[in-house]
């Protein structure tokens, strides 16, 4: 089976096999050094020059989203959420659950985020903006300049879930004034699931460390994580093996020309796929897309059916949930798939379309 799902993705062989050769024990100076090395490189990739500003947590991406809500927001904040799909909705649910006052910018399917959506919220006392830089349920890559301008002129902190944009779309926390960025091991990093990262600006780090009240979580109290971080450690047992995979992955990125070359290769892959899939008679949306995935739109055909057909050809893609399940399925461009695999996928899609038209 060839894996084109939106995370976990197909792992590279030397990353997948690294667990066989390492010990799982972690309270050692060697493991601490490994962690510091990985977090430093990841901080450079995400464009955050603040030292000791990246935490890592034993949970999937949603756990980190919730931990950020618990540690970075309080009931005296007023939050705005960009809600353009199921991940935006998830931020709304988490904020609601924790009693943080919020409003959301609700986007319809196929609606592109633009200035008019934000300007209605100018000068209304909002203190935090939550956004999923790539809304993975639709593949829309939001305009970061637009969002950071809005935050700057309103004195708001910008909290970005970059889970599916990290290591495939080009952005920098420092340049865009992102105050907290969340990502996980199983997407752009192409590792096993189980490890999530939170990178913070210096003002967000101060907000967390100076907070008088305890966060609504004991396990994910970021103050404890910052204290342990100075030794490259975590308060509790981390996903040790995943960190070794991250190290192997960072080596791979470096050997293939570094961060920019890596991102450019994924962008090329996405571009080539988008051209071929439209030539094969399918449509793609016209809002800006992340390099991570291509949503393929179906006219009248149930997208779930196509995803099922593809399985018989040996390809696993991501169908969508809810209302979108009939409209789109998603093809991911991350992970260990070759241009030859991509061509075979296109051939299969062409074949499926011909058969369905004949029916």
Ligand X SMILES: *Cc1c(COP(=O)(O)O)cnc(C)c1O
Q: In the chain, what are the helix, strand and coil shares in percent, each to the nearest 5?
A: 45, 15, 40
Is the separation of the CB atoms in 355 and 348 below 8 Å? no
Q: Which is nearer to ligand X, 60 or 217 (CB)?
A: 60
Window of 12-20, 159-167, 198-206, 240-248 that interacts with ligand X by CB under 6 A: 159-167
Angle between helical axes of 61-72 and 86-97 (0-180°, round to 10): 40
164 binds ligand X (CB under 6 A): yes
233 binds ligand X (CB under 6 A): no
And the tokens for 34? 């490994």
138 binds ligand X (CB under 6 A): no
Query: Which three-class secondary structure state does DSSP give residue 240?
Result: helix
87 binds ligand X (CB under 6 A): yes
For ligand X, which residue has the nearest CB?
Answer: 61
Longest dimension (CA), the chain: 67
CB of 60 to ligand X, least distance (A): 3
- CB neighbourhood size of 284 (10 A): 18
- Within 190-229, the residues that bind ligand X by CB under 6 A are none
CA–CA separation, 313 vs 332, rounded Å?
17
Query: b or e along 73-92 (b: 16 or more beta carbons within 10 Å of the residue's beta carbon)?
Result: bbeebbbbbbbbbbbbbbbb
Is the separation of the CB atoms in 332 and 293 below 8 Å? yes
Q: Which is nearer to ligand X, 85 or 232 (CB)?
A: 85
Q: Which is nearer to ligand X, 74 or 290 (CB)?
A: 290
Q: Which is nearer to ligand X, 161 or 342 (CB)?
A: 161
Q: How many residues in the shown chain lie near ligand X by CB under 6 A?
A: 12
35 binds ligand X (CB under 6 A): no
- Binder to ligand X among 66, 70, 77, 161 (CB under 6 A)? 161
Q: Which is nearer to ligand X, 129 or 349 (CB)?
A: 129
Sites of contact with ligand X (CB under 6 A): 7, 60-62, 87, 132, 136, 161, 163-164, 184, 187
């Amino acid at each position: 089976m060839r894996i084109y799902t939106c995370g976990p993705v197909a792992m590279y062989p030397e990353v997948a096999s690294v667990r066989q050769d390492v010990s799982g024990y972690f309270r050692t100076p060697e493991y601490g050094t490994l962690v510091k090395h990985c977090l430093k490189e990841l901080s450079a990739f995400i464009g955050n020059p603040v030292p000791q500003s990246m935490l890592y947590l034993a949970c999937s991406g949603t756990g980190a989203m919730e931990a950020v809500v618990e540690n970075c927001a309080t009931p005296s904040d007023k939050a705005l959420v960009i809600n353009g799909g199921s991940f935006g909705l998830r931020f709304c649910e988490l904020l609601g659950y924790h009693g943080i006052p919020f409003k959301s910018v609700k986007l319809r399917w196929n609606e592109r985020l633009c200035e008019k959506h934000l300007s209605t919220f100018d000068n209304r006392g909002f203190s935090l903006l939550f956004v999923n830089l790539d809304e993975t349920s639709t593949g829309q890559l939001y305009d970061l300049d637009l969002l950071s301008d809005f935050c700057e002129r309103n004195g708001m902190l910008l909290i970005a879930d970059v889970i599916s944009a990290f290591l495939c779309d080009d952005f920098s926390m420092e340049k865009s004034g992102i105050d907290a960025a969340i990502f996980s091991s199983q997407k752009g990093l192409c590792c096993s699931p189980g490890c999530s990262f939170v990178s913070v600006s210096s003002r967000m780090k101060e907000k967390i460390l100076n907070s008088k009240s305890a966060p609504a979580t004991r396990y994910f109290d970021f103050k404890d994580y910052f204290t342990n971080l100075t030794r490259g450690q975590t308060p509790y047992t981390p996903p040790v093996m995943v960190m070794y995979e991250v190290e192997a992955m960072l080596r791979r990125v470096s050997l293939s020309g570094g961060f920019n070359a890596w991102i450019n290769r994924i962008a090329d892959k996405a571009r080539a796929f988008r051209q071929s899939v439209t030539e094969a008679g399918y449509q793609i949306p016209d809002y800006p897309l992340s390099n991570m995935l291509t949503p393929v739109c179906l006219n009248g055909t149930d997208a779930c059916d196509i995803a099922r057909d593809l399985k018989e050809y040996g390809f696993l893609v991501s169908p969508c949930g809810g209302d979108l399940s009939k409209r789109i399925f998603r093809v991911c461009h991350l992970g260990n798939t070759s241009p030859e695999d991509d061509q075979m996928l296109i051939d299969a899609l062409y074949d499926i379309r011909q058969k369905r038209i004949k029916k």
